Amino acid sequence: MSTHLSDQELLAYMANNTMFANLNQPLLETLLSVATLKKFESNQIILRQGEKAEFLFMLVVGRAKLTQLTADGTQILIRYIGPGQEGGTTSLLPGTLHPMTVQTMDKGAMLMWPQAVLADFIPNHPQIAINALQLLAQRNSELQRRYQELLTECVAQRLAHALLRLVTQAGHVVAEGVLIDLPLSREDLAQMAGTTLYTVSRTLSFWEQAGLIESGRQRILIKKVEELEALTTNSYNGSI
């Protein structure tokens, strides 16, 4: 995919994102006109956790990884984002800090809105604030769900949940099942499920033997999505 996009395409991405939902076309165009299109290279850090939140962004080409570093230095992986998905939502509120680091995975481009510019739109277009509210409410409920998982589920269930989330976010249907279209290492999965790369490796091996998945280096193919779903609810945990 080229990093050159028409305004048409950019507007389409915006219209499909909750952040810009229910806004009329002229307003979308105005918002686009105050945005900056910034290109980025692979493996570049866009936002660093702890820095002042100065802008909202939306990827239009390429992918990025959202991570958090805990006080003791453990890195956790929040989620992956792709074209049409936004980040830095808290930037609407002046004086906040970025809760996570955003790191690009490919060469790509994004639209950027400075905090002050966007905030100026709210008095006349409160829908923007409502949209942001909607977005934050979604994030909140997803986080709540993950918090619950962590509190009550065993590693195998959490890993199954993490894979299922990846399926809906980055799953491509192929002949034998669903392929997760991301360069995922065991370490990445461990950071998502809150465990170690060793336990991930063991669990995936077990599932591979059971015919649920097929995994190789940085590659995961899920052959039986329903059975993986069953693992998340069942009391049976696919441990070794």
Residues engaged in binding a second copy (CB under 8 A):
68, 70-72, 74, 76, 90, 92-93, 96, 99, 122-123, 126, 129-130, 132-134, 136-137, 139-141, 143-144, 146-148, 150-153, 194, 233, 235
Binding partner at 95 among a second copy, DNA, none, C-beta below 5 to 8 Å by kind? none
Is 49 one of the binding residues for DNA (CB under 7 A)?
Answer: no
Which one among 65, 98, 161, 186 touches DNA, defined by CB under 7 A?
A: 186
Measured distance CA(210)–CA(142) in Å, rounded: 29
Q: 91 with 102: CB under 8 angstroms? A: no
Please name the residue that has the structure tokens 């409502």: 130
Token pair in block for residue 100: 């996570």
Binding partner at 202 among a second copy, DNA, none, C-beta below 5 to 8 Å by kind? DNA
Closest distance to a second copy from the beta carbon of 174 (Å): 30
Closest of 130, 220, 140, 235 to residue 184, by C-alpha: 220
Angle (deg, nearest 10), helices 225-233 and 155-170: 140
Measured distance CA(58)–CA(87) in Å, rounded: 6
Give the strand pairing for 36-40 and 108-114.
antiparallel
Binding partner at 216 among DNA, a second copy, none, C-beta below 5 to 8 Å by kind? DNA
| Residue 40 vs 55, nearer CB to a second copy | 55
Residues in contact with DNA by the rule CB under 7 A: 154-156, 184-187, 194-199, 201-202, 204-205, 208, 215-218, 237, 239-240
